[in-house]
Amino acid sequence: MPTQLKHRLSKGVFGTGWADGAICIVLAASLYLVNLIYALLNHGPAILHLKSALDDIIPLVPIFVIPYISLEPLTYLTLVIFLLFNTRIFKSASLSFITALLVSYVFYIFLQSEMIRPALIGTDVLTQMIRGVYASDNPYNCFPSLHTSLSTILAIHWLKADRRIGIGFAIWTVLIVASTVFVKQHYVADIALGLVLAFSISWLYMKLLLKSPQPPDGTAQV
């Protein structure tokens, strides 16, 4: 095994000892279980209707369904990489995810929101993909936007783990966040609170768990 790869794996779940590994497993299981709650809350009646004048002028842009649906596979891939190569990053990202989900659930329980979706008239592949998104997700659980908060949390942690990969991921995250309004899944207000959650929660856990500074040359820590 190459020395560099061996060194990186030494900071992952197979190199940090059974106790750290057990913590990571508990966090992974907790994240999975907390994520299941989303579907239980995804119903009306809605209390908040946050459509603004800005939302009225934002068009439906079908191509943005591609970054929108990319969040789920990118999340799984990222968490696996963090788990294998840096359990501190994995723990910070997982705790950030869990906290963002739980805070969002409070809004969905007490201040449920609703997105008024447009009628889709096209028959092209991208429009059909948007129909699939609509069919799999009720138009509730909008404020705050989890697509915004979770993708931003991933980008923030990638920037900490590896600046070069992080910059590319951050650019793609901008597209994911933009996609939430361009496929008419969220309003601008949903994005705003999602960003506040992501930055505040990530700052908290990174301060607690990732105290060592980023190498000045931006080399990978994962």
Q: How many angstroms separate the CA atoms of 93 and 157, rounded?
A: 7
| The two three-digit tokens of residue 17, written as one number | 């000892």
In angstroms, the CA 222 to CA 218 distance is 12
The CA–CA distances, whole Å, from 125 to 65, 66, 130 equal 10, 11, 9
Place of tokens 């799984």: 76
Sign of CA pseudo-dihedral 43, 180, 192, 211: positive
Bridge partners of residue 48, in order along the sequence: 113
User: What tokens does 34 get?
Assistant: 């907390």
What pLDDT does residue 9 have?
77
The mean pLDDT values, 10 residues at a time, for the chain of 222 residues are 69 91 97 98 96 97 98 98 96 98 98 97 96 98 98 98 96 98 98 98 95 48 57
| Predicted local distance difference test score (pLDDT) of residue 8 | 73
Tokens 């990174």: give the residue: 206
DSSP per position, 67-123: HHHHHHHHHHHHHHHHHHH-HHHHHHHHHHHHHHHHHHHHHHHHS-BB--PPPP---
Distance CA 21, CA 87 (A): 8
DSSP 10: T
Give pLDDT, residue 219: 41
